Amino acid sequence: MASWWADGYDLLVTPTLPEPPPPIGYFAPDPTEPTITGLRASGFACWTSPFNMTGQPGISLPLHWTPDGLPVGVQLVASYGREDLLVRIAAALEQAAPWIDRRPPLFG
**For 58-80, how does the pLDDT look when each residue is reduced to its tens digit (9 = 90+)?**
999 999 998 988 889 999 999 99
Residue 106 in any domain: the answer is no
Q: Which domain holds residue 33?
A: 2-96
Q: Is the pLDDT of residue 91 over 90?
A: yes
Tens of pLDDT along 15-47? 999 988 888 888 888 889 889 888 888 888 899
If one counts the domains in the chain, the total is 1
Q: Residue 107 has what pLDDT? A: 54
Residue 108 in any domain: the answer is no
Spatial distance between the Cα atoms of 40 and 48, rounded to a whole number of angstroms = 14
Residue 90 in any domain: the answer is yes
Spatial distance between the Cα atoms of 52 and 42, rounded to a whole number of angstroms = 13
The Cβ-side half-sphere exposure at 16, using a 13 Å CA radius, reads 15
Q: Is the pLDDT of residue 84 over 80?
A: yes
Instruction: Give how far the C-alpha of residue 55 lies from the chain's centroid of Cα atoms, to the nearest Å.
Output: 15
Nearest 5 degrees, angle CA 67-CA 75-CA 50?
130
Residue 39 is classified by DSSP as H
Residue 61 in any domain: the answer is yes
Residue 102 in any domain: the answer is no
pTM above 0.85, yes or no: no
- For β-strands 58-65 and 71-78, DSSP reports them as antiparallel
Asked which of 8-12, 91-95, 100-104 is least confident by mean pLDDT, the reply is 100-104
Residue 41 in any domain: the answer is yes
Residue 79 in any domain: the answer is yes
